[in-house]
A and B are shown apart, each in its own frame.
Chain A
Amino acid sequence: MTEYIIETKDLEFVYPDGTYALRKLTISIQKGKKIAIVGANGAGKTTLFLNLNGVYKPTGGKVYFEGKEMIYNKKDILALKRNIGIVFQDANAQLFSASVFQEVSFGPMNLGLPKEEVRKRVEDALAKTGIAHLKKKPIHFLSGGQKKRVSIADILAMDPKVIFLDEPTAFVDPKTSSELMAFFDVLNKEGKTIVLSTHDMDKVYPWADYVFVMKEGAVIAEGIPQDIFRDDEVLKRADLEKPWMIAAYEEIIKRKPYLSKEEVPKTKEALFQLMTK
């Protein structure tokens, strides 16, 4: 039986100025999976994250965490924040302290842990994100990629069950971005449910287990990446580009229709293999 860690039913969120950010949004996020949420700017991805983490209170609909309905009282909000961490898109907007060590300690301190436990968690999070050597550096000396790693360590130190990553590969170089994607894989193998939003279809296609496509605050399609990214209609409606691997695959099966029974390739190697058949 599949276990869902987060579910929403007809979730709605209206900003105080009357802007509809989420409309009747229903999603189910499977525990321990790698989930991608794709969609153009302003589709409501960040707002969705903030609703699920308890920063915003939904104006309509239902949210379930581990099967339990959240009524967004003090206890629920605390549980959501404890179990769901958000790594924000702009590291500069997330990092408030001048010292890396203090910055990362903020989350676990808010969990009310004893100081020794906090210290251990901070050290672990810094080691995991590969920035233990930057512990004593001030934040304003760090590069964009390093700041990103600090912002991830911020959340890891709180040890949430679900990690939301808001466009983690924006503003970082291709090498760092590939390293980060590989790192998210490692976290996933350790049992964390990873949800990331992105515009980078080429990176997300081989990475994700499951994809939600958002447009104007609603989910317009969902499924495994091999299906979603072959659906021209959906991609066009959501203003998304087709990953190059899918484009190449479709070109191959157009010429060699007998290959269409083969599995859709998820890696470069699989694609090259297909070409030789």
Chain B
Amino acid sequence: MISMDQYAYINRLKSVHPMEKCLLSGGMLLICLWNTSPLVHFGAIALMTFLVIAVAGIPGKTYVQYLLLPLVFLITGVGGVALTITKNSTLFLYGFAMGHWKIGISQQGLDQAVLVFLRAYASVTCLYFLAFTTPMTDMMWVLRKLRMPTVLVELAMMIYRFIFVLMETASMIYISQDCRLGYSSIKRSYTSLGQLASNLFVKAFCRAQELFTALTARGYTGRLDVLEENYYLSMKNMALIVLAQGIFMILALQ
């Protein structure tokens, strides 16, 4: 399965101005969080799904698989919201008694749960749209333009790059341990995994020093200045985004 990170670089919306995508995603997210109308939430889910699958060209199957990921958290969370524990059972649609206390689902709790569920899912689709269509490197650009502190952006840049180096190193250590029967029994697996984790830390430390040397050789003096690529804002896209968000605001008011 190709990961979300890879789709971000190969989807059909990749070359769209990152600020436009952020505006759409962020704007819709705010609208979804502010409003309680299920119509808005369904609308947002439909719009984002349409954009991701039909416009950006992400395979539907992959998208659904990713949508299933937050489901576990949502169901447990929403379950808690729906259930009410009280001594007064008259309001319950369905409930049972436990001693003096009654546990059940009330109309109010159910409404609340549905709202939380829809709102969360609509927000997830808004963020997925951004994650599926915008490469991390473009996001850094947006963060810079939004005047995020340089230290944070540089840190994010390094972390993003070295996640992959670290994963590669970890998988190489794992394979080399596995080749020497490091995972042949549960007890050995524990030992091997412990060694993997501790050595990964040491290796990461060495890597950091090597990187520092290599950067110094190229004139590093404490600032990671790089040249940003030029992007061109499309007025048509901006107008469409504002229009869509306007429509959603009107929907919400009704």
A: residues with CB less than 8 A from B are 50, 53, 55, 78, 81-82, 85-86, 88, 90, 92-99, 101-103, 105-111, 115, 118-119, 122, 136-141, 154-155, 158
Contact = CB atoms under 8 A, between A and B. Distances in A.
Interface stretch (B51-59, B106-114, B180-188, B211-219): B211-219
Contacts of B221: 110
B160 interface: yes
B9 A138 contact: yes
Contact of A96 (B9, B224, B228): B224
A92 B207 CA distance: 9
A101 B214 contact: no
A95 B224 CA distance: 12
27 contacts: A50-B213, A78-B219, A81-B219, A85-B217, A88-B210, A90-B210, A93-B207, A93-B211, A93-B214, A94-B214, A96-B158, A96-B161, A96-B215, A97-B157, A98-B157, A98-B160, A99-B137, A101-B227, A102-B227, A102-B228, A105-B226, A106-B218, A106-B226, A110-B219, A122-B227, A138-B135, A140-B165
Given A92-B165, A93-B210, A97-B157, A119 B227 contact: yes
B225 A110 contact: yes
B9 A111 contact: no
Contacts of B157: 96-98
A4 to B, nearest CB: 22
B227 A81 contact: no
B226 A97 contact: yes
Interface residues of B, number: 30
Contacts of B225: 106, 109-110
B164 interface: yes
B217 A86 contact: yes
B142 interface: no
Given A92-B165, A95-B161, A107-B219, A138 B137 contact: yes
Interface of B: 6, 9, 135-137, 157-158, 160-161, 164-165, 168, 207, 210-211, 213-221, 224-229
Contacts of A82: 219
A135 to B, nearest CB: 9
A137 B224 CA distance: 20
